[in-house]
Structure formats: C-alpha cells, structure tokens
Amino acid sequence: MVDRLKGKVAVVIGGATGMGRGTVLRFVEEGAKVVIADRNRIGSEETLDLARRISPDVEIVDVDVSKWEQVQDMIERTVARFGRLDVAVNLAAILMLTPPLVEIEERQWDMIMDTNLKGVFFCCKAAIPEMIKSGGGSIINISSSAGIDSWTRSLPYNVSKAGVIHLTRVAAGQYTSRGVRINCIIPGPFDTPQARGSTQSTEAIEAIGPQHPMGRLGQPEDMASAILFLASEEASYISGSILTVDGGARVARPRM
C-alpha cells in the first residue's frame, strides 16, 4: 500500500465482480473510501466482504444506472456516508449478442444503450456537481475495443461503447477547467465472469490466451492498475484521454 488515494472517496459503478471488484480492492488498498454500486447484490456483498478485510470504509449501494433517480440516490448516499466525492468509475455495462441490424429488436437496442451509454451519462451528470463542490475529481469511463472496431456480433454494443468514448471527450472539454478530469479506457480481451458467461464460453476464453501477443488475457488486476493511475494525482495533467489497455492485441492483430 502506498496510499495513492488516501483521503479520497470513490464510487465504483459495476463494482460487484470482475474488473469492478478488482478496482474496489485496489482502491481500498490505496487508502480510498469506496462505495460499491451495482445491481448484483450477491456479487456486491462478496466484494464488500473482501474489501472490509482491508478497510472498514466500504459500503454498498444498489443501483440500476439506466434509472436517473437511482443514480442520484447513489451519489447522494455516497456523499452522505463519506462527506464528498473524488472519483467515479463507470464500469457498469451489458453485452447482449444480437443478429444483424435489420433483425435487431427495439427492446434489445434500448436495453444495451440505456445501460452502456445513458447510464454513463447519468453517472457523470450526477457526479460532476459533487466533484466541483469538493474542489475537483476524476471520472474514468470504460469503453471497449468494440467502440473503435467493427465487431459484428452486437451492433448496439459497438455503438454504445463508441458513444462512451465521444461522451468522455466532450465532457472533458466542458469540465476540465472546473477541476474534473474525465478519461476513458478501452479494454481489450480480458478474462472476466462476463467474458466466460454471457459472451463467451470458458473454453473459448482459454483458447484466446495462447494467441494473444502477451500469451495471456488481461486480468481484473491489470484494469485496476490502469484505473488507479487515472484516478490518482499521478495523472493530474491528463484529461480527455483515451487509454487502450489490451496488452498490444490491437497493434498485433495480424498474429491473432
């Protein structure tokens, strides 16, 4: 522990499992007071138990980020519990595989866009005023390599993640001068419960690793390190940036 977030208050949205859980634990190790925000209550409680072995300053808030009232409540409860808000990490997302464009149903489009893009908008909208009150802060939005590449298995997911990138840039242009740094991370292939469940099989995930230029998939701890950097004062001169965290997968694509 080097206390890079000592005295900071953070909300990790989508903190119940995977990259979110890894981020919660890393933040707590670095001295932050953390709210785990997710609609997966069981996963949140498991993360809470792990985090409280390190620090008592961790709480849970149930939230569906597609609902504005719930997002407002999440931020209000964070500030009521810990007195301020310094860091917000927007990890909550869903990935539903869809047919080609003409066959996509409106409900599929809305479900993905409401969580992945409108949810990030709501979380930024609620967090920014509290960060300004606290003298500044850092927002880290999580996109996907699907936001910059034409991954054909889910058009709505691609569009939502591309939207997160542009939302980040525009919002940073509007609020950096007021002390709120807003950045975006583009993850590449990661080994997470979602990757092994709703989007891939365990067998498919394990087959990808040996083909990766680093010989392995990213782990939650890899993402937590990148998020920690952008949340910390080490990144105090970084805003509106898009950081790719994929182990070189995109530049080495001809090998894969």
Q: Which of 157, 192, 195, 220 is catalytic?
A: 157
What letter does residue 237 receive in the DSSP assignment? T
Whether 167 and 121 have beta carbons less than 8 Å apart is answered as yes
Helices marked H in 83-118 — which ranges? 106-113
Instruction: Determine the Cα–Cα distance for residues 126 and 141; give it in Å rounded to an integer.
Output: 14
230-233 long-range contacts, CB within 8 A, separation 24+: 230/138, 230/140, 230/181, 230/183, 230/185, 231/5, 231/8, 231/10, 231/27, 231/87, 231/89, 231/138, 231/140, 232/4, 232/5, 232/30, 232/138, 233/4
Torsion sign, CA atoms 211, 214, 215, 216: negative
Backbone dihedral angles phi then psi of residue 187, each to the nearest 5 degrees: -75, 145
- Does 157 qualify as catalytic in the annotation? yes
Structure tokens, 158: 């691609």
Active-site annotation, residues: 157
